[in-house]
Structure 1
Amino acid sequence: MLRSNIIQPSSQVESTLLPRYDALEELTMKEDMFFEIRKALKGFADVEKLLTSSGVHGLLDIARQTYKEATEDVYQHVDELSKEHELVIEVKFDHRRKFWLRLEGNEFEDRQLPDVFINKITRSRWIECQTLMLVQLNNRITDSHNEAVMLSENIIQQLLDDIRGYVPELFRVCEGIALLDMVASFTQSATTRDYVRPEISDTLALKNARHPICERVNPERFVPNDAYAGEQHRFQIITGCNMSGKSTYIRMVALMQVMAQIGSFVPAEYASFPLFQQLFVRISTDDNIEANMSTFSLEMREMAFILRNVNNKSLAIIDELGRGTSSRDGLAIALAISEALIQSNSIVWFATHFEEITKILGSRPGVLNLHLETDVSSSSETRARMTMLYKIKSGPVQERSYGINLARAMGFPESFIEVAQGVSQTLADTMEGQKDASESRWLIRQRKMILNLTSILSQLIKSEMDDATMGSYLRHLQDEFVQKMDDNAVY
Structure 2
Amino acid sequence: MAKPKETPMMKQYNEIKAQYPDAFLFYRLGDFYELFNDDAVLGSQLLELTLTQRNKNSAEPIPMAGVPHHAAQNYIDILVDKGYKVAVVEQMENPAEAEGMVKREVVQLVTPGTRMRTSADAAKENNYLVSLSMTPAGGFGLAYTDLSTGEVKATTVTATGGVLNEISRLETKEIVTNATLPDDLMANLTSLGILVSHQDEEAANAETSYLTQQLTVPEQKEAADVLLAYLFATQKRSLDHLQMASSYEIAQYLKLDRNSRANLELTVNLRTQQRSGTLLWLLDNTKTAMGGRALKQWLEQPLLDRETIEQRYDKIGELLKDFFSRAALQETLKSVYDLERLAGRVAYGTANGRDLLQLRNSLRQVPDIMVTLGDLDPAVFGDLLRRIDPFSDIEKLISTAIAEEPPISVTDGGVIRAGYNTRLDDYRSVMKNGKQWLAELEAKERSETGISSLKIGFNKVFGYYIEVTKANIDKLDPDRYTRKQTLVNAERFITPELKDREQMILEAETKSSDLEYQLFTEVREQIKNNITRIQKLAATLAELDVLQSLATVAEDYNFTRPELTDKQRLVIKDGRHPVVEKVLGHQSYVANDVFMDEDETIMLITGPNMSGKSTYMRQLALTVVMAQTGSYVPASEAELPIFDQIFTRIGAADDLISGNSTFMVEMSEANTAIQNATKRSLILFDELGRGTATYDGMALAQAIIEHVHNNTKAKTLFSTHYHELTALSDELPNLRNVHVGATEENGELVFSHKVLTGPADQSYGINVAKLAGLPDSLIDRAADILANLEAQDVSLEATAPTRPAKLAEPVATYQASVAEPEPEVVAAEPADTQLDLFAVGPEIDPATQAVLDEIKATNIATMTPLDAMMKLNEWQKQMK
Normalization by structure 2: what TM-score?
A: 0.38
Matched letter for residue 552 of structure 2: Q
- 2: distance between equivalents of 1:161 and 1:433? 91
Equivalent residue for 1:396?
Answer: 759
Q: Does 1:188 align with 2:552?
A: yes
TM-fit CA distance, 1:168: 5.7
Q: Counterparts of 1:11-26 in structure 2 under 5 Å?
A: 11-14=304-307, 16-26=308-318
Unaligned 5+ runs, structure 2? 1-293, 346-350, 355-404, 414-520, 806-816, 834-880
Q: Counterparts of 1:408-423 in structure 2 under 5 Å?
A: 408-410=770-772, 412-423=774-785
Matched letter for residue 331 of structure 2: K
Question: Residues 175 and 290 from structure 1, CA distance in 2 versus in 1: closer, same or farther, beyond 3 angstroms?
Answer: same
Deviations, residues 243-296 of structure 1 (Å, cap 9, x unaligned): 111111111111011111111111211111110010111113122222222211
Equivalent residue for 1:349?
Answer: 717
- 2: distance between equivalents of 1:53 and 1:420? 74
3-state SS, counterpart of residue 767 of structure 2: helix
Matched letter for residue 255 of structure 1: L
Question: Given the alignment, which residue of 600, 612, 615 partners 1:233?
Answer: 600
TM-fit CA distance, 1:339: 1.6
Question: Given the alignment, which residue of 616, 622, 626 partners 1:255?
Answer: 622
Question: Given the alignment, which residue of 234, 242, 266 partners 2:609?
Answer: 242
Equivalent residue for 1:285?
Answer: 652
Equivalent residue for 1:132?
Answer: none
Q: Is the 8 A contact 1:232 1:365 kept in 2?
A: no
3-state SS, counterpart of residue 386 of structure 1: strand
Q: Is the 8 A contact 1:322 1:329 kept in 2?
A: yes
Question: Given the alignment, which residue of 342, 355, 359 partners 2:727?
Answer: 359
Equivalent residue for 1:447?
Answer: none
Equivalent residue for 1:464?
Answer: none
Which stretch shifts more, 291-300 or 347-356?
291-300
TM-fit CA distance, 1:304: 1.4
- 2: distance between equivalents of 1:175 and 1:336? 49
Equivalent residue for 2:674?
Answer: 307
Question: Residues 481 and 313 from structure 1, CA distance in 2 versus in 1: closer, same or farther, beyond 3 angstroms?
Answer: closer
Q: Does 1:483 align with 2:846?
A: no
Equivalent residue for 2:330?
Answer: 38
- 1: distance between equivalents of 2:708 and 2:536? 41
Equivalent residue for 2:787?
Answer: 425
Question: Given the alignment, which residue of 276, 282, 300 partners 1:7?
Answer: 300
- 2: distance between equivalents of 1:442 and 1:407? 32
- 2: distance between equivalents of 1:410 and 1:239? 20
TM-fit CA distance, 1:43: 2.7
Q: Is the 8 A contact 2:352 2:408 kept in 1?
A: no
TM-fit CA distance, 1:429: 4.1
Equivalent residue for 1:217?
Answer: 583
- 2: distance between equivalents of 1:160 and 1:349? 57
Deviations, residues 205-254 of structure 1 (Å, cap 9, x unaligned): 11111110111111131111111112242200111111111111111111
3-state SS, counterpart of residue 639 of structure 2: strand
Cα RMSD, aligned residues only = 3.4
Deviations, residues 106-147 of structure 1 (Å, cap 9, x unaligned): xxxxxxxxxxxxxxxxxxxxxxxxxxxxxxxxxxxxxxxxxx
Deviations, residues 347-394 of structure 1 (Å, cap 9, x unaligned): 01111111111123454111010111112111xxxxx21111101100
Q: Is the 8 A contact 2:605 2:740 kept in 1?
A: yes
3-state SS, counterpart of residue 237 of structure 1: strand
Q: Is the 8 A contact 1:279 1:315 kept in 2?
A: yes
Q: Counterparts of 1:59-70 in structure 2 under 5 Å?
A: 59-60=409-410, 62=412
- 1: distance between equivalents of 2:551 and 2:522? 38
TM-fit CA distance, 1:161: 8.4
TM-fit CA distance, 1:417: 2.8
Matched letter for residue 295 of structure 1: T
TM-fit CA distance, 1:428: 3.2
How many pairs does the alignment contain? 359
Unaligned 5+ runs, structure 1? 64-156, 379-383, 444-478
Q: Is the 8 A contact 2:654 2:661 kept in 1?
A: yes
Equivalent residue for 1:174?
Answer: 538
TM-fit CA distance, 1:414: 4.2
TM-fit CA distance, 1:440: 3.6
TM-fit CA distance, 1:313: 1.0
TM-fit CA distance, 1:44: 1.9
Q: Is the 8 A contact 1:362 1:369 kept in 2?
A: no
- 2: distance between equivalents of 1:62 and 1:160? 17
- 1: distance between equivalents of 2:780 and 2:532? 73
Deviations, residues 391-412 of structure 1 (Å, cap 9, x unaligned): 11000101x3511123345554
TM-fit CA distance, 1:435: 4.6
Equivalent residue for 1:374?
Answer: 742
TM-fit CA distance, 1:303: 1.3
Q: Counterparts of 1:2-151 in structure 2 under 5 Å?
A: 2-14=295-307, 16-47=308-339, 48=341, 51-52=351-352, 54=354, 59-60=409-410, 62=412
Q: Is the 8 A contact 1:277 1:314 kept in 2?
A: yes
Q: Is the 8 A contact 2:353 2:410 kept in 1?
A: no
Q: Is the 8 A contact 1:235 1:348 kept in 2?
A: yes
Matched letter for residue 560 of structure 2: V
Matched letter for residue 540 of structure 2: G
Q: Is the 8 A contact 1:198 1:265 kept in 2?
A: yes
Equivalent residue for 2:246?
Answer: none
Normalization by structure 1: what TM-score?
A: 0.66
Q: Is the 8 A contact 2:561 2:632 kept in 1?
A: yes
Question: Given the alignment, which residue of 169, 174, 198 partners 2:562?
Answer: 198
3-state SS, counterpart of residue 484 of structure 1: coil
TM-fit CA distance, 1:199: 0.5
Matched letter for residue 627 of structure 2: A
Q: Is the 8 A contact 1:198 1:273 kept in 2?
A: yes
- 2: distance between equivalents of 1:487 and 1:40? 77
Question: Given the alignment, which residue of 208, 213, 218 partners 2:574?
Answer: 208
Q: Is the 8 A contact 1:231 1:366 kept in 2?
A: no
Matched letter for residue 6 of structure 1: L
Matched letter for residue 177 of structure 1: L
- 2: distance between equivalents of 1:366 and 1:194? 33
Q: Is the 8 A contact 2:802 2:826 kept in 1?
A: no
Question: Residues 254 and 481 from structure 1, CA distance in 2 versus in 1: closer, same or farther, beyond 3 angstroms?
Answer: closer
Q: Is the 8 A contact 2:803 2:827 kept in 1?
A: no
Q: Is the 8 A contact 2:592 2:754 kept in 1?
A: yes
- 2: distance between equivalents of 1:216 and 1:414? 35
TM-fit CA distance, 1:53: 5.6
TM-fit CA distance, 1:57: 7.2
Equivalent residue for 1:94?
Answer: none
- 2: distance between equivalents of 1:332 and 1:2? 43
Greater helix fraction, Structure 1 or Structure 2: 1
Question: Residues 417 and 13 from structure 1, CA distance in 2 versus in 1: closer, same or farther, beyond 3 angstroms?
Answer: same
Question: Residues 57 and 481 from structure 1, CA distance in 2 versus in 1: closer, same or farther, beyond 3 angstroms?
Answer: closer
TM-fit CA distance, 1:340: 1.7
Matched letter for residue 421 of structure 1: A
- 2: distance between equivalents of 1:366 and 1:358? 13
